[in-house]
Structure 1
Amino acid sequence: MSLPPPEDSVGVVWSRILSVLSKELSEQSYKTWFEGISLHGYSDTSLVLSVPDQYYGKWLEDHYQNLILSAAQEVLGKAVSVTYQVIEKPKTAASSPSHSRSPKDRVSGLVSLNSNYTFDNFVVGPGNRFAHAAALAVTDAPARQYNPLFIYGPTGLGKTHLLQSIACEIGRRFSNYKILYISSEQFTNQLITAIQTKTTPQFRAKYRNLDLLLIDDVHFIAGRESTQEEFFNTFNSLYDAHKQIVVTSDRPPKEIPSLEERLVSRFGWGLVTDIQPPDFETRVAILKKKIEKETIGVPDEVLYFIAGKIKSNIRELEGALIRVVAYCTLTGNKLDVRVAQEILKDSFKEESQKFSIEEIQKTVADYFQIKVSDLRAKKRTLSIVRPRQIAMFLVRELTGYSLPEIGEYFGGKDHTTVLHACNKISAEKEKDIGLRGVLDKITGLLKKER
């Protein structure tokens, strides 16, 4: 093969090939397999792709070879061969010390780290406070407490954010650590490749010489006998050597179907903690954190509106904000609740409007034997204030209307008044069985009337 062409030429060719590939692959597949490689060089007849290790190259060859060949032919105008090479980057005196590299660079793995996933960018609330504290404890003293650390919860609540934050922070504090962040699917794929290429000893050496292993979505290894066997032995090797293990899952170990009991037991050796959906205040804080770097101002009313609509998935929450900001930035429209409602109308689940505010007000008024007009008036007698607070709380819980919108339906109350009422009822119902019973009865009446 001829010498690699000038760097600019290589960059242009590779950029065009990636452009073709991105149109043929899902976003996840593209990010997983093609953002971590580069074009080392090319000649009239062949391309050489630079890959992190031989397992990576073997996987690309087995699963994406034809697609890569097709993309290369489209860009170069002729058929070429493609080979893979593990490229050792030359070390220079200026760059050899490990502390000259960023923490992210010191974390290996096939899944690239998100630079926004740091502890500084993680918004702490009641639903994730304990998991966040445990993650910080692990970074302070790896393998000394909470080993393994098992974090579980539904998709989109910040498990991956915490996992990558741990990886980056330990990489920053312990520059000599060997750290691997990877998904369970990638672990399985690497094992399969190692078995096929008869390089299982190298695979085991790679994993069992780590100081920190972080595996995302570990529940995907359930039901895979060979993968569970290999992970079990890897776990034992690292644990016995006092190395830190952190994993995430969508459910606790005991509830993962087809997960071997010995692995359930191992996960229980450390700390098992969950992440719950964020409450309203945390959702607003997440949105405010998201807009810190935006050049366009976002009114609080818009943040309250979005936070009131999307309650269970942080990625969807942030995605909704991005859509609204992008639309107003590109069109020059004023950003307000009306515009946000129009842009996001297709994103909200139908059940968020299952009950109307009027229905809830009428049911609450009937239950307490008062008039609906009393709920909307400015009367501050206890016999009216309490039902009004309960009605506001139920509207927020059952409809997803924003705080300002709720206030308008209750005689033009300020959003802070609505927030106070909702917080008061939310806090009291945790301790007051009678109040919980009232809320359940009213909710039951609403459903019965439907």
Structure 2
Amino acid sequence: MGYFEVENELYEKWDEILENMRVNFDISDPAFNTFIKILKVHSISGKNLTILIDDAKVGSNKSFIEKRYSTFLQVTIEEMTNIKYDITYISKNEINTTPVETYTNNSLPNKDHPFISSKYTFDNFVVGDNNDYAHAASLKVAEEPGDIYNPLFIYGGAGLGKTHLMHAIGNYIIDRDNTQRVVYVTSESFVNEIVEAIRDKKGDGSNSMQEFRNKYRNVDVLLIDDIQFIIGKETMQQEFFHTFNHLYESQKQIVISSDKHPATMKTLEERLRSRFEMGLTVDIKPPTYETRMAILRRKVQEENLSIDDSILDFIASNVSSNIRELQGAITKVIAFSKLRHNDITMDLAKQALSDMIAPDKKKEITIDYIIETVADHFNISTNDLLSSKRSSNISHPRQICMYLCCELTNNTLDVIKKHLNRKDHSTIIHGRDNIKKLLEDPDANQKVVKDIDILIKKINPQ
């Protein structure tokens, strides 16, 4: 479902969303009528959702509504749309006293731009093997905008952190120099604005299309998210091509995100493809087990909670596709606990996530998962495990990893060799057989037996 359809669904089904929130989180009638029923959709831009508190008297309690109900609303919307929105609230009083912004060559939004979310910074971006290159490139662009890596093209699947990095770039630049004109926009909003500008025929003879061009061509930094949305739309590609050229020739920084590498976008105009590829292209992969655990631990720390690592391991092991889903899972567990006034236990976590994790779903055992689990168990990095280092604290876990890959998967030695970064499969056989010999004398090698037993239970819980 595209963002336009989701936006329409939010407007059309808003009452249903609020009702689901009431039922799922057992909100009393007085609380619902006082604090929830008055919430309306004010505006949507990409994954940024602004909620209007449509009651001047209650609007003064905005902080209470945010603290008490925001997590419940975010979880409910995500369940119904599969999108985790960054939600902000605005009161009726604020709308009445906030002047309407206009855009001219010298009056573009910067520090107070509503679509640069202060929640996303480099400080709270969890760096792992899956995203360290993209993080480093983004930070370099933020430090020297327009000077190096222009354009910066970030690609990867949904919910992996592309939008976080784009907002982090914007926040970093604005914090260092609040005169910088930084604009973040989704390509859907960009397209929508073009359509509106083409349709809008002003009575005073002013040119809406020229206003649109002024808005986007007189910036210092343009952050455009999900560029794949303009693919196949000739007019939109043409307009973005000219905007890109104008900014690039003026040495203004351009950062673009997409779900695909430019080379694989079949209906992208060749002239745009060549421009996307003339800077630096970086990818973000799905988070490793180590990164998933780090993300969960950070969330727990932010919430000032104490959650046993075994519970975090349960979540990290079962929710692995993307960060947004992972954050949604831990948010749901925390909300479930608060609602029921219960401590977070394994049983509560399983109950809270029952719709996300099938109870008897058998998790696929992959070589990568074994690598992550072994590295985590021995408190070493996956990079060290896959390296050529020969110290015993690295080589011994590596041989255990070889043994488990052979015993717990149906992969060939050749496949295992490639995943473990070995030159030939004889190394895999040697490592596997070394561990087998140790296991033949369990009394003499109790630690090895214990390590193998713990790892098998983690990798393949029954």
TM more than 0.5: yes
> Which one of 35, 38, 56 corresponds to residue 19 of structure 1?
38
Question: SS of 1:188's equivalent?
Answer: helix
Query: Please, which of 244, 250, 253 is the counterpart of residue 262 of structure 2?
Result: 253
- What secondary structure does 1:106 align onto? coil
When the two structures are aligned, how many residues end up with a matched partner? 314
Contact 1:107 1:167 in 2 (8 A): no
In the TM superposition, 1:288-327 aligns within 5 A as 288-327=297-336
Are 1:308 and 1:396, in contact at CA under 8 Å, matched by a contact in 2? no
Which one of the candidate residues 329, 337, 341 is aligned to 2:346?
Answer: 337
Q: What is the SS of the residue equivalent to 1:245? A: strand
Aligned residue number for residue 165 of structure 1: 168
Matched, 1:232 2:241: yes
Deviation at 1:430, TM superposition (A): 2.2
Match of 2:287 among 278, 292, 296: 278
- Matches of 1:88 and 1:294, distance apart in 2: 35
State the one-letter code of the partner of 2:209. T
* 2:422 match: 431
Distance, in Å, in 2 between the alignment partners of 1:395 and 1:333 is: 40
User: Which letter maps to 2:38?
Assistant: S
Matches within 5 A, 1:371-390: 389-390=401-402
Structure 1 residue 200: deviation in Å? 1.0
Say which one has the larger Rg: 1
Distance in 2 of aligned mates of 1:155 and 1:258: 20
Aligned positions of 1:394-433 closer than 5 A? 429-433=420-424
Matches of 1:213 and 1:38 in 2, distance apart? Answer: 33
Report the residue type matching 1:318 in the other structure: Q
Q: Structure 2 vs 1, CA of residues 140 and 31 (structure 1 numbering), >3 Å: closer, same or farther?
A: closer
- 1:208 aligned partner, one-letter code: R
One-letter amino acid of the counterpart of residue 180, structure 1 = V
TM-superposed CA distance for 1:203, in Å, is 1.2
In the alignment, structure 2 segments of 5+ residues that lack a partner are 1-33, 57-91, 202-207, 367-395, 411-415, 432-462
Post-superposition offset of 1:340: 1.7
CA distance in 1, matches of 2:356, 2:336: 15
Aligned-pair CA distance for 1:28: 5.5
The Cα offsets for residues 230-279 of structure 1, whole Å up to 9 and x where unpaired, read as 00000000000000000100010111231101100000110001001111
Q: Distance in 2 between matches of 1:317 and 1:344?
A: 11
3-state secondary structure, aligned to 1:214: strand
Q: Distance in 1 between matches of 2:423 and 2:197?
A: 58
Q: Distance in 1 between matches of 2:178 and 2:324?
A: 31
Distance 2:118 2:423 in 1: 44
Which residue, out of 270, 277, 294, partners 1:268? 277
- Deviation digits for residues 371-398 of structure 1 (CA, Å, limit 9, x no counterpart): xxxxxxxxxxxxx998864565689999
**For 2:231, which of 222, 225, 233 is the aligned residue?**
222
In structure 2, how many angstroms separate the alpha carbons of the residues matched to 1:279 and 1:351? Answer: 23
Q: Offset of 1:105 from its aligned partner?
A: 5.8
Q: 1:193 to 1:317 in 2, by over 3 A?
A: same
TM-score by length of 2: 0.59
- Asked if structure 2 preserves the Cα contact closer than 8 Å seen for 1:238 and 1:244, the reply is yes
Matches of 2:274 and 2:173, distance apart in 1: 26
Q: Where do residues 95-110 of structure 1 align in structure 2 (5 Å cutoff)?
A: 106=111, 108=113
Q: 2:273 and 2:100 mapped to 1: Cα distance?
A: 39
1:148 aligns with 2:151: yes
Matched residue, 2:75 = none
Q: 1:307 to 1:201 in 2, by over 3 A?
A: same
Question: Does the C-alpha gap of structure 1 residues 295 and 17 become closer, same or farther in structure 2, counting only changes over 3 Å?
Answer: closer
Query: For residues 34 and 121 of structure 1, do their structure 2 counterparts lie closer, same or farther at Cα, with a shift above 3 Å needed?
Result: closer
Going from structure 1 to structure 2, the CA distance change for 1:345 and 1:238 (only over 3 Å counts) comes to same
Once the two structures are superposed, residues 417-448 of structure 1 have per-residue CA deviations (whole angstroms, 9 ceiling, x without a partner) of xxxxxxxx999712344289889xxxxxxxxx
Once residues 359 and 409 of structure 2 are traced to their aligned partners in structure 1, the CA distance between those partners, rounded to angstroms, is: 14
Tell me how far apart the structure 1 counterparts of residues 403 and 117 of structure 2 sit (CA, whole Å). Answer: 42
Q: Is the 8 A contact 2:128 2:287 kept in 1?
A: yes
Q: Cα offset for 1:108?
A: 3.3
SS at match of 2:123: helix
Query: Take 2:279 and 2:138, find their aligned partners in 1: how far apart are those partners?
Result: 12
Q: Flag structure 1 segments of 5+ consecutive residues without an equivalent.
A: 1-14, 41-74, 76-82, 90-97, 99-103, 358-383, 399-424, 440-450
Partner of 1:124: 127
Distance 1:268 1:324, change over 3 A: same
Residue 183 of structure 2 corresponds to residue 189 of structure 1:
no
Amino-acid identity (%): 41
CA contact (8 A) 1:428 1:435 kept: no
Letter of the structure 2 residue corresponding to residue 155 of structure 1: A
C-alpha displacement of 1:29: 6.9
CA RMSD of aligned residues (A): 4.1
Q: What is the distance in 1 between the residues matched to 2:53 and 2:224?
A: 21
Query: Are the counterparts in 1 of residues 39 and 52 from structure 2 also a CA contact under 8 Å?
Result: no
Q: Distance in 1 between matches of 2:244 and 2:53?
A: 29
Q: What secondary structure, in the 3-state scheme, does the structure 1 residue paired with 2:282 have?
A: strand
